[in-house]
Protein backbone atom coordinates (compact mmCIF):
# COMPACT_ATOMS: atom_id res chain seq x y z
CA UNK A 1 0.00 0.00 0.00
CA UNK A 2 1.24 3.45 -0.89
CA UNK A 3 -0.02 6.74 0.50
CA UNK A 4 -1.20 9.98 -1.02
CA UNK A 5 -1.74 13.50 0.24
CA UNK A 6 -5.45 14.21 0.41
CA UNK A 7 -6.27 17.17 -1.81
CA UNK A 8 -4.58 20.43 -0.90
CA UNK A 9 -3.33 19.21 2.49
CA UNK A 10 -0.53 17.31 4.17
CA UNK A 11 -2.80 14.46 5.35
CA UNK A 12 -1.48 11.03 4.35
CA UNK A 13 -4.12 8.51 3.34
CA UNK A 14 -3.82 5.07 1.76
CA UNK A 15 -4.25 4.82 -2.02
CA UNK A 16 -7.39 2.76 -1.47
CA UNK A 17 -10.20 3.65 0.94
CA UNK A 18 -12.29 1.06 2.77
CA UNK A 19 -15.98 1.79 2.39
CA UNK A 20 -18.10 0.52 5.28
CA UNK A 21 -21.67 0.94 4.06
CA UNK A 22 -21.78 -2.88 4.19
CA UNK A 23 -20.76 -2.97 7.90
CA UNK A 24 -23.90 -4.20 9.61
CA UNK A 25 -26.81 -6.26 8.36
CA UNK A 26 -29.52 -3.75 9.30
CA UNK A 27 -30.38 -3.16 5.65
CA UNK A 28 -30.65 -6.85 4.75
CA UNK A 29 -27.58 -7.27 2.53
CA UNK A 30 -24.55 -6.22 4.58
CA UNK A 31 -21.95 -8.07 6.66
CA UNK A 32 -22.40 -9.01 10.29
CA UNK A 33 -20.02 -7.83 13.01
CA UNK A 34 -17.51 -10.69 12.68
CA UNK A 35 -17.33 -10.50 8.90
CA UNK A 36 -16.93 -6.72 9.07
CA UNK A 37 -14.06 -7.17 11.54
CA UNK A 38 -12.30 -9.61 9.21
CA UNK A 39 -12.54 -7.08 6.37
CA UNK A 40 -11.28 -4.25 8.55
CA UNK A 41 -8.34 -6.30 9.87
CA UNK A 42 -7.30 -7.41 6.38
CA UNK A 43 -7.43 -3.84 5.06
CA UNK A 44 -5.30 -2.64 7.98
CA UNK A 45 -2.82 -5.51 7.57
CA UNK A 46 -2.31 -4.49 3.95
CA UNK A 47 -1.40 -0.96 5.06
CA UNK A 48 -4.80 0.69 4.63
CA UNK A 49 -5.50 3.55 7.01
CA UNK A 50 -8.37 5.36 5.23
CA UNK A 51 -11.87 4.37 6.42
CA UNK A 52 -15.15 5.77 5.06
CA UNK A 53 -18.49 5.64 6.86
CA UNK A 54 -21.56 7.83 7.42
CA UNK A 55 -24.13 8.55 10.10
CA UNK A 56 -26.77 7.02 7.81
CA UNK A 57 -25.04 3.73 6.96
CA UNK A 58 -26.90 0.69 8.33
CA UNK A 59 -28.81 2.99 10.66
CA UNK A 60 -25.70 3.94 12.62
CA UNK A 61 -24.32 0.40 13.01
CA UNK A 62 -21.50 1.11 10.56
CA UNK A 63 -20.18 3.99 12.68
CA UNK A 64 -20.45 1.93 15.86
CA UNK A 65 -18.48 -0.95 14.34
CA UNK A 66 -15.84 1.37 12.89
CA UNK A 67 -15.48 3.04 16.29
CA UNK A 68 -15.00 -0.34 17.92
CA UNK A 69 -12.44 -1.51 15.36
CA UNK A 70 -10.25 1.63 15.42
CA UNK A 71 -10.33 2.07 19.20
CA UNK A 72 -7.06 0.24 19.97
CA UNK A 73 -5.07 2.32 17.46
CA UNK A 74 -7.14 5.46 16.92
CA UNK A 75 -4.30 7.75 15.83
CA UNK A 76 -3.26 5.45 12.98
CA UNK A 77 -6.58 5.58 11.14
CA UNK A 78 -8.06 8.40 9.09
CA UNK A 79 -11.81 8.13 9.60
CA UNK A 80 -14.25 9.93 7.35
CA UNK A 81 -17.94 10.19 8.14
CA UNK A 82 -20.83 12.29 6.81
CA UNK A 83 -23.74 14.46 7.83
CA UNK A 84 -26.89 15.66 6.02
CA UNK A 85 -29.04 12.55 5.83
CA UNK A 86 -30.76 11.02 8.84
CA UNK A 87 -30.64 7.44 10.16
CA UNK A 88 -33.99 5.74 10.65
CA UNK A 89 -36.04 7.15 13.51
CA UNK A 90 -35.57 5.51 16.87
CA UNK A 91 -37.92 2.60 17.41
CA UNK A 92 -41.25 3.84 18.71
CA UNK A 93 -40.38 7.49 18.05
CA UNK A 94 -42.80 8.82 15.45
CA UNK A 95 -42.23 12.52 16.10
CA UNK A 96 -41.51 14.74 13.13
CA UNK A 97 -38.02 16.27 13.44
CA UNK A 98 -37.80 19.00 10.77
CA UNK A 99 -34.20 19.93 11.63
CA UNK A 100 -32.78 16.42 11.95
CA UNK A 101 -31.47 16.46 8.38
CA UNK A 102 -30.17 18.92 5.82
CA UNK A 103 -26.97 20.95 5.42
CA UNK A 104 -27.78 23.69 7.96
CA UNK A 105 -25.83 24.42 11.13
CA UNK A 106 -28.28 22.77 13.57
CA UNK A 107 -28.32 19.52 11.60
CA UNK A 108 -24.54 19.71 11.22
CA UNK A 109 -23.81 20.19 14.92
CA UNK A 110 -26.21 17.58 16.26
CA UNK A 111 -25.13 15.06 13.61
CA UNK A 112 -21.45 15.47 14.49
CA UNK A 113 -22.15 15.04 18.21
CA UNK A 114 -24.09 11.84 17.50
CA UNK A 115 -21.34 10.51 15.21
CA UNK A 116 -18.67 11.20 17.84
CA UNK A 117 -20.64 9.09 20.32
CA UNK A 118 -21.16 6.21 17.90
CA UNK A 119 -17.51 6.29 16.79
CA UNK A 120 -16.43 6.55 20.43
CA UNK A 121 -13.83 9.17 19.56
CA UNK A 122 -13.03 12.78 20.42
CA UNK A 123 -12.63 13.92 16.82
CA UNK A 124 -13.50 13.08 13.23
CA UNK A 125 -10.61 13.15 10.78
CA UNK A 126 -12.72 14.07 7.74
CA UNK A 127 -16.32 15.27 7.75
CA UNK A 128 -18.26 15.11 4.49
CA UNK A 129 -21.31 17.08 3.59
CA UNK A 130 -23.23 14.06 2.29
CA UNK A 131 -25.59 15.61 -0.26
CA UNK A 132 -26.53 19.15 -1.25
CA UNK A 133 -29.99 20.16 0.01
CA UNK A 134 -30.54 23.21 -2.28
CA UNK A 135 -31.83 25.19 0.73
CA UNK A 136 -28.95 26.11 3.02
CA UNK A 137 -26.77 29.07 1.99
CA UNK A 138 -23.21 28.15 1.07
CA UNK A 139 -21.89 30.70 3.58
CA UNK A 140 -23.80 29.07 6.45
CA UNK A 141 -22.38 25.68 5.52
CA UNK A 142 -18.77 26.76 5.21
CA UNK A 143 -18.80 28.91 8.35
CA UNK A 144 -20.39 26.10 10.37
CA UNK A 145 -17.89 23.55 9.11
CA UNK A 146 -15.00 25.90 9.84
CA UNK A 147 -16.31 26.33 13.39
CA UNK A 148 -16.20 22.54 13.85
CA UNK A 149 -12.58 22.53 12.70
CA UNK A 150 -11.68 25.38 15.07
CA UNK A 151 -13.39 23.49 17.92
CA UNK A 152 -11.18 20.48 17.19
CA UNK A 153 -14.13 18.16 16.64
CA UNK A 154 -13.29 17.83 12.92
CA UNK A 155 -9.85 18.01 11.33
CA UNK A 156 -10.59 18.20 7.58
CA UNK A 157 -13.59 18.74 5.29
CA UNK A 158 -14.90 17.08 2.16
CA UNK A 159 -18.13 16.98 0.19
CA UNK A 160 -20.22 14.39 -1.59
CA UNK A 161 -22.93 14.25 -4.24
CA UNK A 162 -23.04 17.99 -4.94
CA UNK A 163 -23.00 20.00 -8.21
CA UNK A 164 -19.65 21.36 -9.38
CA UNK A 165 -20.78 25.00 -9.27
CA UNK A 166 -21.71 24.72 -5.59
CA UNK A 167 -18.37 23.12 -4.67
CA UNK A 168 -16.47 25.75 -6.63
CA UNK A 169 -18.35 28.56 -4.87
CA UNK A 170 -17.80 26.95 -1.46
CA UNK A 171 -14.05 26.53 -1.89
CA UNK A 172 -13.64 30.00 -3.37
CA UNK A 173 -15.53 31.50 -0.41
CA UNK A 174 -13.46 29.47 2.06
CA UNK A 175 -10.19 30.55 0.45
CA UNK A 176 -11.31 34.19 0.47
CA UNK A 177 -12.40 34.14 4.13
CA UNK A 178 -9.54 31.99 5.45
CA UNK A 179 -11.91 29.15 6.36
CA UNK A 180 -11.28 25.43 5.96
CA UNK A 181 -11.96 24.22 2.43
CA UNK A 182 -13.17 20.96 0.92
CA UNK A 183 -10.20 18.68 0.21
CA UNK A 184 -12.09 15.99 -1.65
CA UNK A 185 -15.34 15.10 -3.35
CA UNK A 186 -17.03 11.71 -3.17
CA UNK A 187 -19.09 10.80 -6.23
CA UNK A 188 -20.20 7.78 -8.30
CA UNK A 189 -17.73 7.03 -11.09
CA UNK A 190 -17.36 3.88 -13.16
CA UNK A 191 -17.20 2.57 -16.69
CA UNK A 192 -21.00 2.72 -16.67
CA UNK A 193 -21.26 6.19 -15.16
CA UNK A 194 -18.81 8.68 -16.67
CA UNK A 195 -20.97 11.82 -16.43
CA UNK A 196 -18.46 13.30 -13.97
CA UNK A 197 -16.00 13.87 -16.79
CA UNK A 198 -18.13 16.79 -17.98
CA UNK A 199 -17.88 19.04 -14.90
CA UNK A 200 -17.04 17.35 -11.58
CA UNK A 201 -13.61 15.95 -12.50
CA UNK A 202 -12.34 19.12 -14.24
CA UNK A 203 -13.55 21.18 -11.28
CA UNK A 204 -11.81 18.87 -8.80
CA UNK A 205 -8.55 19.02 -10.70
CA UNK A 206 -8.75 22.81 -10.94
CA UNK A 207 -9.36 23.16 -7.19
CA UNK A 208 -6.74 20.51 -6.29
CA UNK A 209 -9.34 18.20 -4.75
CA UNK A 210 -9.10 14.45 -4.45
CA UNK A 211 -11.90 12.51 -6.15
CA UNK A 212 -13.15 9.53 -4.13
CA UNK A 213 -15.31 7.38 -6.42
CA UNK A 214 -17.98 5.08 -5.07
CA UNK A 215 -20.12 2.68 -7.07
CA UNK A 216 -17.07 1.63 -9.09
CA UNK A 217 -18.64 -1.76 -9.88
CA UNK A 218 -22.11 -0.24 -10.36
CA UNK A 219 -23.70 -2.43 -7.68
CA UNK A 220 -21.96 -5.50 -9.06
CA UNK A 221 -23.04 -5.06 -12.67
CA UNK A 222 -19.42 -4.70 -13.84
CA UNK A 223 -18.49 -8.04 -12.27
CA UNK A 224 -20.43 -9.65 -15.10
CA UNK A 225 -22.60 -11.67 -12.71
CA UNK A 226 -25.80 -10.26 -14.17
CA UNK A 227 -24.90 -11.62 -17.60
CA UNK A 228 -25.88 -14.94 -16.06
CA UNK A 229 -28.22 -15.89 -13.25
CA UNK A 230 -26.97 -14.32 -10.00
CA UNK A 231 -27.93 -16.09 -6.77
CA UNK A 232 -25.86 -14.24 -4.15
CA UNK A 233 -27.40 -11.41 -2.07
CA UNK A 234 -27.25 -8.07 -3.84
CA UNK A 235 -28.45 -4.50 -3.39
CA UNK A 236 -29.96 -4.60 -6.87
CA UNK A 237 -32.91 -6.65 -8.11
CA UNK A 238 -31.69 -8.11 -11.44
CA UNK A 239 -35.22 -7.84 -12.80
CA UNK A 240 -35.10 -4.05 -12.51
CA UNK A 241 -31.68 -3.48 -14.10
CA UNK A 242 -32.88 -2.90 -17.67
CA UNK A 243 -29.34 -2.62 -19.02
CA UNK A 244 -29.02 -1.07 -22.47
CA UNK A 245 -27.20 -2.77 -25.30
CA UNK A 246 -24.38 -0.23 -24.91
CA UNK A 247 -24.02 -1.02 -21.19
CA UNK A 248 -23.99 -4.75 -21.86
CA UNK A 249 -21.21 -4.17 -24.42
CA UNK A 250 -19.17 -2.40 -21.72
CA UNK A 251 -19.62 -5.29 -19.28
CA UNK A 252 -18.70 -7.82 -21.97
CA UNK A 253 -15.49 -5.91 -22.75
CA UNK A 254 -14.58 -5.88 -19.05
CA UNK A 255 -15.11 -9.64 -18.85
CA UNK A 256 -13.13 -10.18 -22.05
CA UNK A 257 -10.10 -8.26 -20.77
CA UNK A 258 -10.37 -10.05 -17.42
CA UNK A 259 -10.14 -13.39 -19.22
CA UNK A 260 -7.15 -12.16 -21.23
CA UNK A 261 -5.13 -11.06 -18.19
CA UNK A 262 -6.28 -13.79 -15.81
CA UNK A 263 -7.84 -11.35 -13.38
CA UNK A 264 -11.39 -10.81 -12.16
CA UNK A 265 -13.77 -8.41 -13.93
CA UNK A 266 -13.97 -6.46 -10.66
CA UNK A 267 -10.24 -5.77 -10.74
CA UNK A 268 -10.42 -4.64 -14.37
CA UNK A 269 -13.25 -2.19 -13.62
CA UNK A 270 -11.55 -0.84 -10.49
CA UNK A 271 -8.20 -0.42 -12.21
CA UNK A 272 -9.76 1.55 -15.06
CA UNK A 273 -11.03 4.06 -12.48
CA UNK A 274 -7.79 3.94 -10.47
CA UNK A 275 -5.77 4.72 -13.59
CA UNK A 276 -7.71 7.88 -14.53
CA UNK A 277 -5.21 10.00 -12.60
CA UNK A 278 -4.79 12.36 -15.56
CA UNK A 279 -8.35 13.55 -14.96
CA UNK A 280 -7.86 14.24 -11.21
CA UNK A 281 -6.24 12.67 -8.18
CA UNK A 282 -8.36 9.57 -7.57
CA UNK A 283 -8.61 7.32 -4.51
CA UNK A 284 -11.18 4.55 -5.06
CA UNK A 285 -13.54 3.53 -2.27
CA UNK A 286 -13.87 -0.25 -2.03
CA UNK A 287 -16.99 -1.71 -0.48
CA UNK A 288 -17.45 -5.46 -0.10
CA UNK A 289 -19.91 -7.86 1.47
CA UNK A 290 -17.33 -10.57 2.19
CA UNK A 291 -13.61 -10.78 2.96
CA UNK A 292 -13.08 -12.75 -0.25
CA UNK A 293 -14.57 -9.92 -2.30
CA UNK A 294 -12.37 -7.36 -0.52
CA UNK A 295 -9.23 -9.44 -1.08
CA UNK A 296 -10.04 -9.73 -4.77
CA UNK A 297 -10.70 -5.99 -5.07
CA UNK A 298 -7.51 -5.02 -3.24
CA UNK A 299 -5.46 -7.19 -5.60
CA UNK A 300 -5.70 -4.30 -8.09
CA UNK A 301 -2.53 -2.99 -6.41
CA UNK A 302 -0.59 -5.91 -7.91
CA UNK A 303 -1.02 -4.92 -11.55
CA UNK A 304 -2.21 -2.26 -14.01
CA UNK A 305 -4.10 -2.17 -17.28
CA UNK A 306 -1.99 -1.51 -20.37
CA UNK A 307 -2.54 1.61 -22.44
CA UNK A 308 -4.20 -0.53 -25.11
CA UNK A 309 -6.58 -2.06 -22.59
CA UNK A 310 -7.41 1.34 -21.12
CA UNK A 311 -8.16 2.60 -24.62
CA UNK A 312 -10.48 -0.33 -25.36
CA UNK A 313 -12.45 0.25 -22.17
CA UNK A 314 -12.56 4.01 -22.62
CA UNK A 315 -13.76 3.65 -26.20
CA UNK A 316 -16.58 1.21 -25.50
CA UNK A 317 -17.82 3.28 -22.53
CA UNK A 318 -17.32 6.75 -24.04
CA UNK A 319 -19.99 9.41 -23.55
CA UNK A 320 -20.51 12.69 -25.42
CA UNK A 321 -19.06 15.48 -23.28
CA UNK A 322 -21.31 18.08 -24.87
CA UNK A 323 -20.93 21.85 -24.72
CA UNK A 324 -18.59 23.56 -23.96
CA UNK A 325 -16.14 20.65 -24.25
CA UNK A 326 -17.18 19.91 -27.83
CA UNK A 327 -16.80 23.58 -28.78
CA UNK A 328 -13.67 24.84 -27.06
CA UNK A 329 -10.81 22.42 -27.81
CA UNK A 330 -9.28 23.10 -31.20
CA UNK A 331 -11.78 25.75 -32.25
CA UNK A 332 -9.59 27.80 -34.59
CA UNK A 333 -12.25 30.45 -35.16
CA UNK A 334 -12.35 31.30 -31.45
CA UNK A 335 -8.72 31.00 -30.44
CA UNK A 336 -6.72 31.84 -33.52
CA UNK A 337 -4.94 30.26 -36.44
CA UNK A 338 -3.90 26.65 -36.86
CA UNK A 339 -0.28 27.84 -36.53
CA UNK A 340 -1.04 29.18 -33.05
CA UNK A 341 -2.58 25.85 -32.08
CA UNK A 342 0.39 23.95 -33.47
CA UNK A 343 2.69 26.02 -31.23
CA UNK A 344 0.47 25.31 -28.23
CA UNK A 345 0.32 21.59 -29.00
CA UNK A 346 4.09 21.38 -29.40
CA UNK A 347 4.77 22.96 -26.01
CA UNK A 348 1.81 21.79 -23.93
CA UNK A 349 3.10 20.36 -20.69
CA UNK A 350 6.74 20.93 -21.60
CA UNK A 351 7.90 24.52 -22.00
CA UNK A 352 6.18 27.91 -22.08
CA UNK A 353 4.90 29.02 -25.48
CA UNK A 354 7.56 31.30 -27.03
Mean pLDDT of 309-317: 98
Instruction: Respond yes or no: is residue 42 known to be catalytic.
Output: no
Domains and CATH numbers, the chain: 3-321 (3.20.20.100), 324-354 (no CATH)
Q: Which tens digits make up the pLDDT trace of 68-85?
A: 999 999 999 999 999 999
Position 354 scores a pLDDT of 38
119 pLDDT higher than 80: yes
338 pLDDT higher than 80: no
Position 353 scores a pLDDT of 38
Residue of 42, 57, 156, 341 marked active site:
57
> Who has greater pLDDT, 226 or 120?
120
Position 229 scores a pLDDT of 58
Lowest mean pLDDT among 73-77, 206-210, 235-239: 235-239
222 pLDDT higher than 90: yes
- Burial string for 299-333 (b: 16+ CB within 10 Å, else e) reads ebbeeebeeebbebbeebbeeeeeeeeeeeeeeee
Q: CA 302 to CA 213: how far, in whole Å?
A: 20
> Who has greater pLDDT, 168 or 26?
168
Q: 184 with 5: CB under 8 angstroms?
A: no
> Who has greater pLDDT, 232 or 219?
219
List CB contacts of 232: < 8 A, sequence separation 6 or more.
225
Phi-psi region of 242 (alpha: psi -120 to 50; beta: other; left: phi over 0): left
350 pLDDT higher than 90: no
Amino acid sequence: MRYKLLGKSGLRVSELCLGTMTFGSDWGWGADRDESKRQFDYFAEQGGNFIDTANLYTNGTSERLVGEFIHSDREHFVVATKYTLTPAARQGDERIRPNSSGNHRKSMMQSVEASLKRLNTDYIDILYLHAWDYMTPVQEVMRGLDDLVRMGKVLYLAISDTPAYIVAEANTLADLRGWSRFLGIQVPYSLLERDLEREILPMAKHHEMTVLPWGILRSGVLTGKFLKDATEPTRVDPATLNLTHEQIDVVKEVVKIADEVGRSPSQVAINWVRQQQHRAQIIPILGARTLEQLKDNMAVLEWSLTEAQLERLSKVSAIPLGFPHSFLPGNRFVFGSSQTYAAIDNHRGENPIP
